[in-house]
Structure 1
């Protein structure tokens, strides 16, 4: 595939510029003609230089939520879909989202469905959003679907922010502890090691152990880095395997205090997703299937798969959840009430609000609990190294 830069004129006579990837020039011109573009300039580009490269997600969660909210507002205001796409593509700052919307607008102009055009950008538009838009196109309720999805992703963004806020502090303090330890072992301890050697006195076993550790870090730091990268790679590979990933996710949920916080965040996301899907008139089996794909935790995925099988047998959605340690009685009882009353989406919405509130409280408690523990941990590490230096100095002072 070769990358081409083109200049063309659309049906309105406006000049359009852009890039297209195609096997050859002829195919590139044909593809552009299918979009009702008359090409008058086509230049070959270096594919490696002009290929879009990004680390992580090309569109940040905050930008994506803002885009959906604006898109929903424009459609709800009665603005035509094509006009809304063009307005957004001109206003957005994110390059990847802007370029994607420009191409999507061209495809929609040619009669391609919005969901089909968006599906060509899986790194930007989640599968859940594409399925929901497809459902909205089929039912003629695209405005309602976009509004529900804007609300959903806004809640998901707030949920991620709460989790990120709770975990950022321990991550920063832990990183600082490692950096301070390495600094002391590499730069400070060797200075005193040379001084102790010059006195020729026998050092305490504890001090000698710290000096040996300092020498290991100085001489084999590259091996330590390689070992860290190998462990990280091994962990990523294990996460790809169903059995080991299921085991890791189960262990994370059982960690004291932290496990409870993770559990609440997962349940909040699960109930929010199910509620939004059912509120958008998505069939319950499809809603459970989509929610299963959205969830990252294998333990919850397995239970949701069992819940889908339960529904297919004509049983309750909550049946597999009742005897599972992951799901509290609140969820199973509210689901039973929702199924009995025919208002399952409302019950799930209420449960989502409860866990959203509990998650906020758990976030505050987790930070207040972890903060003193990390401070003590950091002080203990630094104190242990300083103590290893002070102990032999007292012995040396006594000899003089």
Structure 2
């Protein structure tokens, strides 16, 4: 029955509404497709209007697309066949994730098409042709084949985990079972849009200090490696006694000038060690626990994690996903091992028929506001609404906090850079004063 619903064709008027809906969302009705190494490769032969023979290969979804694209180039196809792929013709590609903005756009467009009366099969095929995201295009073409074979969208999408995370598959499946697939896609679009906005706010807060620190390191290394050695050679020939600050700066300059390879090795080793430590469960827990205790960024990252898991949990529950599966999905996306452990304890509590809020309250990690709102939601039967309100509050708070962090860090970083550069300059000036006094 589900396959029959998927194959239901849209009325002519509905198709016009669908195109209009896509135009409103994306800003253009159609986009030309790129050649995609994941598509079939075709070998063609034809001639131009002047009779010149043309041969070549082209990747496309269908032979008809090859003919149309060549016709646009002024080539009339006389022979067309699918070319077997070999090691010489197959492109070497790396699987990539879909950009958040592209995925949100797809969800919005898909929901608009379904609301306009376009069938799931037609909507999938249309968006597969329109999208410019190669990983999304590949996934949609694969899903389209599964839909034509009578399989539901959620089952087909579950094979493309890089494009459709388990959370999205669960909500889509719930929409299929309830007959509200368009609302499920709208809910997903709103969810990923919120996640994308929060992520961008965190990145903007971290980007400024990262850029300033990187620029400061470059300036300091340049001064120590290229400027200080000139003064060092000059002072060495004068035979004067160097003050402590000058000896320290000159020592750092020699270490950078002669041992730069060792510093690069230590930095690379530290990066590799940190990467593998984050992969180990125990070390990741200690790392995330230390991150939450950072003076400024710890509070910001904690608020972002709370916004993420409450938004996820609320979206899943509003999509009629069972609560145990919802909590498990929230564990996977929270992004912090400490809060993930709290959610695991919460899942065990719910499985035992107990409260959702009580384990969070006992943990001491989740703020009282969150636990109280969840407790009220459990009592009144409006848990999804309460979680959405908590998520709205913390997402807005993250936005305000990022502005405060940037305003606080800007003078601190500038002051720190000024102190370091001032020490280097002072190390050069002090011996000059000593030399001037000796000349007097």
- Partner of residue 284, structure 1: 323
Structure 2 gap ranges (5+):
1-37, 44-61, 67-79
Q: Does 1:227 align with 2:266?
A: yes
TM-superposition CA deviations, 1:229-266 (whole Å, max 9, x none): 11111111111111111111111111122211111111
- Partner of residue 51, structure 1: 92
Cα gap change, 1:152 to 1:91, in 2 (>3 Å): same
- Partner of residue 21, structure 2: none
1:72 Cα shift? 1.8
1:47 Cα shift? 7.2
Greater Cα radius of gyration, structure 1 or 2:
2
- Partner of residue 47, structure 2: none
SS of the aligned residue for 1:15 comes to: helix
Distance 1:303 1:48 in 2: 51
- Partner of residue 370, structure 2: 331
Cα gap change, 1:141 to 1:4, in 2 (>3 Å): closer
Aligned mate of 2:173, from 134, 139, 142: 134
Aligned mate of 1:157, from 186, 191, 196: 196
SS of the aligned residue for 1:304 comes to: helix
Q: Does 1:204 align with 2:243?
A: yes
Distance 2:217 2:86 in 1: 46
- Partner of residue 314, structure 1: 353
Pairs within 5 Å for 1:81-100:
81-100=120-139
TM score, norm. by length of structure 2: 0.80
1:363 Cα shift? 1.2
Q: Does 1:241 align with 2:280?
A: yes
TM score, norm. by length of structure 1: 0.88
- Whether the 8 Å contact between 1:4 and 1:43 is mirrored in structure 2 is no
- Partner of residue 54, structure 2: none
- Whether the 8 Å contact between 1:4 and 1:44 is mirrored in structure 2 is no
Distance 1:370 1:47 in 2: 53
Aligned mate of 1:68, from 107, 121, 125: 107
TM-superposition CA deviations, 1:8-59 (whole Å, max 9, x none): 9xxxx95367xxxxxxxxxxxxxxxxxxxxx9423233279612226xx532
TM-superposition CA deviations, 1:197-255 (whole Å, max 9, x none): 12222211221121111111111211211111111111111111111111111111111
SS of the aligned residue for 2:242 comes to: coil
Distance 1:316 1:225 in 2: 52
Cα gap change, 1:281 to 1:47, in 2 (>3 Å): farther
Pairs within 5 Å for 1:172-183:
172-183=211-222
TM-superposition CA deviations, 1:294-328 (whole Å, max 9, x none): 12101111110111111111110011111222111
Distance 1:78 1:140 in 2: 13
Cα gap change, 1:304 to 1:82, in 2 (>3 Å): same
Q: Does 1:394 align with 2:433?
A: yes
- Whether the 8 Å contact between 2:42 and 2:63 is mirrored in structure 1 is no
CA-based RMSD:
2.1
TM-superposition CA deviations, 1:308-351 (whole Å, max 9, x none): 11111111001111122211111111111100110000111111
Once the two structures are overlaid, the 10-residue window that deviates more, 45-54 or 77-86, is: 45-54
For these two proteins, the number of residue pairs brought into alignment is 371
Distance 1:387 1:66 in 2: 56
- Partner of residue 297, structure 1: 336
Distance 1:48 1:65 in 2: 34
- Partner of residue 15, structure 1: 64
Distance 2:90 2:413 in 1: 45
TM-superposition CA deviations, 1:113-136 (whole Å, max 9, x none): 322332332222222112222232
Once the two structures are overlaid, the 10-residue window that deviates more, 256-265 or 122-131, is: 122-131
Distance 1:76 1:391 in 2: 76
Cα gap change, 1:4 to 1:72, in 2 (>3 Å): closer
Distance 2:380 2:261 in 1: 63
Aligned mate of 1:274, from 284, 308, 313: 313
Distance 1:136 1:47 in 2: 44
